[in-house]
Structure 1
Amino acid sequence: MDPNHSEKFAIHEAAREGKTAVVESLLNANPKLASLKDDDERLPIHWAAAYNRLPIVELLASRKNFDPDVTDSSGWTPLMIAASLKNAEGDAIIELLLRKDADVNMKSSTGQNALHFATSKGNISTVRTLLANKCSARVKDKRGQLPLHRAAAIGSVPLMKILLEEGKSPVNATDNDGLTALHHAIAEGHGDAAIFLMKAGAELDKRDNEGRYAIELAPDKKVRSYIIQTAEREGIELP
């Protein structure tokens, strides 16, 4: 590695490591460092968000000409990065970015918005905040997936409930493979999530691009029989 590399990107490293005083003194010496892109086209703000360094995000966001929607090489904004932290740890950063008028509906280069990322990580409070700030649950990414597809794939009933009720997500939308949220829930072995979707109006006779009903994607007999028996008890007739 170029010996000047770490010196050149010292502010990025300080942002990652949570060294607020170092970031501050580097900026005081050269304010332009706030908009210096590293090899991943990330600014210090991206790294501060990725490592959940709230004081550094606050410091960077308080500077004049701060752009909350700046993207890295994958088209990720600081808001998307914060939304994808585990255990909803990025919520405080998200609140701060929203106060700075961050655009909740920006899409990454793969067509995902912050809601896709928050849903994938099972971040319920983050999803609620994003929806309350008009982040759309009806946007498909480049694979044709809605956040609901993600929630179904991880088997999160609370998230699916929020996306359907608060996000007005369509329940029967298909992705590029013709898979509905129900297909995803069953394929990943999430019986309770599948039953929830059936009760929420999932079309049971929808086939994917290979002509398969959702129930045919059950990974094993145990999951399949659990879903069939529970559906019967609920008065739901499978194809």
Structure 2
Amino acid sequence: MSLASETIHAQSQSGNLAGVKALVEQNMSNVSSKDEDERTPLHWAASGGHLPIINYLLDNGAAPNAVDDSNWTPLMIACSSGRVDVAERLIRAGANVNAQNDTKNSCLHYAASKNQPEIVSLLISSGANVDIRDKYDQTPLFRASSLGCTPIAKALVEAKCKINIKDVSGNTPLHMAIEGTHGELAVWLLSQGANPDSKNKEDVLPLDMTTDKNVQKYVANAMKA
């Protein structure tokens, strides 16, 4: 690896557009050069949220779907970091909203995990698969339910995601919401058709996923209503 190719990653991460331009003008191949983790300048610019550099790199041939050694794309990084403007630009450039990395996580998984409702909406409107599964067969709704991210859960359900889908352990999003003691979200999931009688592989009902009596009572009362 040349000094120039090392430097352009640092320049992209720090937001030094002039430095990036100088290195690209010196050698056009620097646009797509990879560091020791196989990340390109576009990965690092996305991480830092540096839209002017992203525009410059894309205009000069940077691949929007480049992957690093864990199959992370620049769009995954932007979504995980909450960089809405960067995510929009990458999608316009042809970034794959349904790409998955080595753990089968997608952009939508990361946006849900990091509680980024605006990015979730952007991804859905851009054609993201709301039922895409990670290596544990969990969809983005599992992430939102585990963390109690009600706005994201609502966006996913409104986009017709499967509400009673099961992961490798047989858990449903309702199991995860109750395990996380997110009573209000659990009640909302029930109102949308979540099955309270769906047992996981250990024969555990959603309501038994927590020992929090207040949550159990709150959800149980909603089930009786």
TM-score range, shorter chain: over 0.9
Native 8 Å contact 1:172 1:180 kept in 2? yes
**Counterpart in 2 of 1:19?**
16
Residues 1:41 and 2:38 aligned together? yes
Partner Cα distance (1:155, 1:127) in 2: 15
Letter in 1 for 2:27: N
**Counterpart in 1 of 2:85?**
92
Partner Cα distance (2:46, 2:68) in 1: 12
* Count of equivalent residues: 225
Residues 1:115 and 2:114 aligned together? no
Q: CA deviation at 1:8?
A: 4.9
- Dislocated runs of 4+, deviation >4 Å: 4-8
Residues 1:181 and 2:173 aligned together? yes
Query: More deviation in 222-231 or 26-35?
Result: 222-231
Identity percentage over the alignment?
36
Task: Report the TM-score when normalising by structure 2.
Answer: 0.95
Residues 1:72 and 2:72 aligned together? no
Q: Map 1:48-197; keep pairs closer than 5 Å.
A: 48-64=45-61, 66-85=62-81, 88=82, 90-166=83-159, 168-197=160-189
Question: Structure 2: any 5+ residue segments left out of the alignment?
Answer: none
Native 8 Å contact 1:45 1:60 kept in 2? yes
Native 8 Å contact 1:52 1:93 kept in 2? yes
Partner Cα distance (2:92, 2:5) in 1: 31
Native 8 Å contact 1:188 1:219 kept in 2? no
Work out which of the residue numbers 17, 26, 29 in structure 2 matches 1:32.
Answer: 29
- Over the aligned positions, Cα root-mean-square deviation in angstroms equals 1.6
Native 8 Å contact 1:12 1:44 kept in 2? yes
Task: Report the TM-score when normalising by structure 1.
Answer: 0.89
Letter in 2 for 1:30: N
Go from structure 1 to structure 2 and tell me whether the alpha carbon gap of 1:61 and 1:7 turns closer, same or farther (over 3 Å shift): closer
Partner Cα distance (1:164, 1:57) in 2: 33
Query: More deviation in 119-128 or 4-13?
Result: 4-13
